[in-house]
Amino acid sequence: MGMSIFYGQPDDESSIATIHRALDMGINMIVTSDAYGNGANETLIGKALVGRRNQALVCTKFGNLALAGGGDTGFTGGDPRHVVIACDRSLKRLGVDVIDLYALHRVDVTIPIEETVGAMKRLVEQGKVRHLGLSEAGPETIRRAYAVHPLASLETEYSLWSRDIEGDIMATCRELGMAIMAYSPLGRGFLTGTIKTLDTLGEKDGRRNMPRFKPENIGQNATLIGLMEAMAQAKGITTAQLALAWVHAQGPDLFPIPGTKRVKYLEQNAAAVDVPLSAQDVQTLNQLFPKNVASGTRYPEPAMKSLGI
């Protein structure tokens, strides 16, 4: 997402170089959405995958019309008719014959989930899609969707300062054998320790509109990072690597999907998989970052209503 929208000015050349380096390192899952720049990010990934399609698991999403700036199909995001159009457009932009993982980006409350997933199931039957997933769905929706067609994954925000899914959502995924793809595992960059004041962010950085980065919250949240930095320094690793290692330590079914536009940070993030954390380390981090410790919600209030449905 950050390669095309939200985190400052896009740099396609640097982004493509980062994708290529990831593939060279054996990182093979690339996650996008048709909502990221209203298709621009899928197009970017399509360019990066020319001649390298067989090295990548391509995951994209549909149905988040609010983030996409509306929508022009005449249907809501989960309408079966929209599903068909959205998939065909994504295939074309990505330049692929089949999408490895196709997920509903946000649950559409106006359409029964059975109808949306039914349309997605037909895409699998037609050979356009290999596996299905959901994003930011609640336990009941996950179960109802899974009854129509097995789901490979749930993509959801999960990190030291966003532990909302611990409980029913995580338990449901594990009961059904679904992987959890943890987006923003670095707290939208906050857990890297590099963002402690609003001045750190550029004027066009979308995080300026996020509650946790607002002036009334960012200072309080920054105090959490100081304790974490000391622990990382003692281990000879970066704060970001410590945050990612904590996600990895939660189980083999959790896959952090940190975003970056730069090779340097890609390589640092990848190295976190080899960071050993003891049970005591994990307990210490759990105590430093209990549930709901962050000051401010993870999205503005209107967007919060679309989560966990």
The pLDDT tens digits for 78-103 are: 999 999 999 999 999 999 999 999 99
Is 48 within the bounds of a domain? yes
- For tokens 């996600």, name the residue: 247
The proportion of the chain whose per-residue pLDDT surpasses 90, expressed as a percent, equals 76
- Give 86-146 as a 3 state SS string: HHHHHHHHHCCCCEEEEEECCCCCCCCHHHHHHHHHHHHHCCCEEEEEEECCCHHHHHHHH
Judged against a pLDDT cut of 90, whether residue 70 lies above it is answered with: no
Is 43 within the bounds of a domain? yes
- Alpha helices of 167-291 — where are they, by DSSP H? 168-176, 215-235, 239-248, 263-271, 279-288
Q: Is there a contact between 253 and 173 (Cβ–Cβ < 8 Å)?
A: yes
Is 50 within the bounds of a domain? yes
**CA 170, CA 138: separation in Å to the nearest integer?**
10
The mean predicted confidence, pLDDT, of the chain is: 94
Its domain, for residue 31, covers: 1-151
Judged against a pLDDT cut of 90, whether residue 197 lies above it is answered with: no
Is 188 within the bounds of a domain? no
Q: What is the pLDDT of residue 277?
A: 95
Q: What number of other Cβ atoms are within 10 A of residue 154's Cβ?
A: 26
Residue range 129-145, pLDDT digits in tens = 999 999 999 999 999 99
The residues with which 103 forms a beta bridge, in sequence order, are 61, 133
Q: What is the pLDDT of residue 53?
A: 96
218 or 119, which is more confident: 119
Is 297 within the bounds of a domain? no
298 or 139, which is more confident: 139
Q: With 0-12 CB in 10 A as exposed, 13-18 as middle and 19+ as buried, what is 16?
A: middle
Closest CA to 10 of 204, 176, 189, 153: 204
Judged against a pLDDT cut of 90, whether residue 31 lies above it is answered with: yes
Joined together, the tokens standing for residue 60 give: 């994209």
Write the DSSP assignment of 241-277 as a string of letters: HHHHHHHHTT-TTEEE----SSHHHHHHHHHGGG---
Q: How many domains does the chain have?
A: 1
Active-site residue identified among 7, 36, 183, 265: 36
- Helix (H), strand (E) at residue 153: strand 153-157
Is 19 within the bounds of a domain? yes
Burial 21-58 (b: 16+ CB within 10 A, else e): bbbeeebeebbbbbbbbbbbbbbbbbebbeeeeeebeb
Is 207 within the bounds of a domain? no
Q: What is the pLDDT of residue 26?
A: 95
Q: What is the pLDDT of residue 274?
A: 95
Q: Is there a contact between 236 and 274 (Cβ–Cβ < 8 Å)?
A: no
pTM of the predicted structure, to 2 decimals: 0.93
User: What is the CATH classification number for the domain harbouring 33?
Assistant: 3.20.20.100
Is 227 within the bounds of a domain? no
Q: Is 102 a catalytic residue?
A: no
Maximum distance among all Cα pairs of the chain, rounded to whole angstroms: 56
